[in-house]
Structure 1
Amino acid sequence: MTSEQERAALLLALGSARRHVLDQAAGMDEAQLRAVVAPSGWSTLGLLRHLTLSDERYWFEVVVAGGPLDFWPEGPNGDWVVADDEDPDAVLTAYRHAIATSDRILAGVDLDAPPRRPEPGWADSGAFPTVRSVVLHVIVETSTHAGQLDLVREVLDGHQHLVL
């Protein structure tokens, strides 16, 4: 497999997981998007906020591209918090915007390059030595959360997402 084939395969997997999340959310009304199903207390909107901030923005804008972490919300689990009066469409739009920004960043970076802003201690532990390792991490994270949304949808309205 060439490096371009590998890049295409990784980005295809990432895009598939993102679409899965967006497809599941698109089928929900506002009450369902705000419903808390899991004992840990998160809603689908909270999960979308988490994917926006913790996965797309943190890993690609900050870690890969070296940008500032000036968007991080205050408070415990602030990346999962969505205010009761916050427009669900704005949360979805922010996720789509973060995806587009991530895609632009990934288009211009070598998968073998080291992240521009690694966390302290990563070098000693061997964690996330390349952009490739970051992309793989975000694929796993997004896919895991897509699976969680499958269960949420089935509990809320019986919808089952077929994954081939």
Structure 2
Amino acid sequence: MTGELTVLLEHLHTERQHILAAVDGLVEEDMTRVAAPSGWSIAQLLNHLTYDDEIFWGCAIVGGDEEAVALLREGWKVPVTSGAQAVERYQYWSSRVDVVLAEADLDAPPRWWPPESIFPFPPFAQARHCVFRLLLETATHAGHLDMAREAIDGHQHLVVD
């Protein structure tokens, strides 16, 4: 593993821990009720992080994992069975992505790219770009979860006086 990859994975791990801290201790009702004007719940956001980020960018695109490719779907529309199950799925796929990324060649092209009819964007030239995208999405949605959590019970992730 290169130094660059080590740093990227450390930052990704930190943001994933931020995600889990933002939902820690919430009851089922808080996990599944609408948390934003657009209508998403915390569990739906976790589904999005799982399917559209971890599975899509990590396992499918960087790893070329056939199981991951078969699971691809609009993460926001994956039915929420429970908040706890959304957390478990997120943790499971995050750990699978860690295995893929630990062996990734950042300079190599992605091992898979979706057809243009499904994902009408040009392929990234390097796996590095996919890892950056995964990190960006994770950090962005950690902030969204902070706002949702603060609205629920006033909990704040980081308060600077």
Q: Same fold (TM over 0.5)?
A: yes
Deviation at 1:119, TM superposition (A): 3.7
Q: Which residue type is aligned with residue 25 of structure 1?
A: V
Q: Which residue of 1 aligns with 2:71?
A: 71
Per the normalisation by structure 2, the TM-score is: 0.87
Whether the aligned pair in 1 keeps the contact of 2:28 and 2:84 (CA below 8 Å) is no
- C-alpha distance in 1 between matches for 2:92 and 2:159: 25
Q: Deviations over 1:125-153 (max 9, x none)?
A: 76521111111111110100000001001
Calculate the aligned-residue CA RMSD, in Å: 2.0
Q: Deviations over 1:4-32 (max 9, x none)?
A: 22111101111111110011111311111
Q: Which runs of 5+ in 1 are unaligned?
A: none
Partner SS for 1:128: coil
- C-alpha distance in 2 between matches for 1:51 and 1:96: 10
Alignment match of 1:16 (pick from 14, 17, 20): 14
Partner SS for 1:36: coil
Deviation at 1:162, TM superposition (A): 0.7
Q: Which residue of 1 aligns with 2:126?
A: 130
1:59 and 1:160, CA in 2 relative to 1: closer, same or farther beyond 3 A?
Answer: same
- C-alpha distance in 2 between matches for 1:82 and 1:67: 20
Deviation at 1:83, TM superposition (A): 4.0
Q: Which residue type is aligned with residue 88 of structure 1?
A: G
- C-alpha distance in 2 between matches for 1:88 and 1:119: 29
Q: Which residue type is aligned with residue 87 of structure 1?
A: S
Alignment match of 2:30 (pick from 29, 32, 45): 32
Whether the aligned pair in 2 keeps the contact of 1:114 and 1:131 (CA below 8 Å) is yes
Aligned length: 154
Mapping for residues 1-164 of structure 1, pairs under 5 Å: 4-68=2-66, 69-73=69-73, 78-81=74-77, 83=79, 86-120=81-115, 127-162=123-158
- C-alpha distance in 2 between matches for 1:71 and 1:163: 38
Deviation at 1:103, TM superposition (A): 0.4
Deviation at 1:90, TM superposition (A): 1.7
After superposing on structure 2, the runs of 4+ consecutive aligned residues of structure 1 that deviate more than 3 Å are 81-84
- C-alpha distance in 2 between matches for 1:94 and 1:61: 14
Deviation at 1:72, TM superposition (A): 2.9
- C-alpha distance in 2 between matches for 1:64 and 1:99: 13
Partner SS for 1:70: helix
Whether the aligned pair in 2 keeps the contact of 1:45 and 1:82 (CA below 8 Å) is no
